Amino acid sequence: MPATTYASPTCEPNVTPMLDVLLVLLIVFMSVVIQVHRTVDANLPQTCLGACAGDAQIVLEVRAGPTYWINSTEVPRQQLAEYIRMLYGPRPDKTLQIAGYPGVRYDDVVAAMDVAKSAGVLVLGIVPKASYLSR
């Protein structure tokens, strides 16, 4: 009888199924990140040297507490949307400048932006830090 030789078993893992699973997971995570990504559209103000022409800007200041001030008039949180609607009703330019003071939480500023958008503001501008700290 001839001697039969058997191949010794190898301990190499088959990585093809693992790579397939990895690629599927990568595609799933990429599609989820695209759908979850949310932004707030804001226009940064243009620098203006000297006197600027045009309508007086309406500035919503979010101060610590949070307290809300519109052009140096304090507005309670519950009346903020109605006050903004009253201001912007007759105005053709629906632009609001927002200033968040130091010590104010980010979500308080975003909440003010949401209220302004729901009250009819079309364009939100961000006031540079140096502008409102010099007052």
Cis status, amide bond into 66, omega within 30 of 0:
yes
Q: Is the pLDDT of residue 40 over 70?
A: no
- For the chain, the first-to-last Cα distance in angstroms comes to 104
Instruction: Please choose, from the candidates 39, 129, 115, the residue with its C-alpha nearest in 3D space to the C-alpha of residue 70.
Output: 115
Quote the DSSP letter at residue 132.
Answer: H
Rg of the Cα atoms in the chain: 29
Is residue 2 very low, low, confident or very high in pLDDT (cuts 50, 70, 90)? low
**Tokens encoding 83:** 């006050």
Percent of the chain with pLDDT over 90: 19
* pLDDT tens sequence across 68-88: 999 888 999 899 999 999 988
Is residue 91 very low, low, confident or very high in pLDDT (cuts 50, 70, 90)? confident
CATH number for the domain formed by residue range(s) 59-133: 3.30.420.270
At 126, which helix (H) or strand (E)?
Answer: strand 123-126
Domain ranges of the chain: 59-133
The DSSP annotation for 46-68 comes to: PP--SPPPSSPPPEEEEETTTEE
